[in-house]
Amino acid sequence: MKLFLIGANGQIGNQVLEQIKANEKHSVKAMVRKQEQLEKYQDAGVDAVLADLEGSVADLAKAMEGSDAVIFTAGSGGNTGDDKTLLIDLDGAVKAIEAAEQSGVNRFVMVSAMQAHNRENWHKDLRTYYVAKHYADRMLQNSKLTYSIVRPGLLLNEQGTGKVSIAENLGQGSIPREDVAKLVITAVDNEKTYYRSFDLASGEQSIEQAIESL
């Protein structure tokens, strides 16, 4: 599959990019928003394109033309204000969904946040972030796209174990970013994950086993 990666310069996005390059099962086009990022990836032999989630839907649609699937790992980051959270994590995600529909890319994998679907479990200090994730996920579910919504727990920069737990409601948990990336790549062409949303944390099952249990 030809994958279009939004958020390639982020921590999960970087993991996705490196794992796709190493595996060679899929090809990938990395979307970045800065010229220096574009040049860095192109110099490394990565197919990359310049586009911005704060730009137009038409520009995003043009950038992802010819792709088979979108993987959305973008986020405003923890050091920005609520305005950027809403512009990137919510409106940027919705623009990407609309762009996929316009450009004929039917498959969309969204990296969300654990319990984003469950208001009662939102962390009080991250309420705006969860609002953004919640409504972006709902827009994806209401779209025409073949979606998967992956809601990982606390993200760690540890080496992945390849062992995970998947469920509609896990409540809490943590997981290395490396394992989130592996799960996302495995899910992108696995029909078991089509039209599904689920929490994700470290666990006892292999990624393949966990997906089969959905």
Catalytic positions are 129
Instruction: Please list the alpha-helical segments (H only) found in the chain.
Output: 11-23, 35-43, 57-64, 82-84, 93-103, 127-141, 177-187, 207-212
Residues 6 or more apart from 1 whose CB is under 8 A from it? Answer: 26, 27, 68, 69, 107, 188, 189
Burial of 43 (0-12, 13-18, 19+ CB in 10 A): exposed
Query: Cα–Cα distance between 167 and 55 in angstroms, integer?
Result: 35
Give the chain's length. 214
What is the DSSP track for 51-100? --TTS-HHHHHHHHTT-SEEEE-----TTS-HHHIIIIIIIIHHHHHHHH
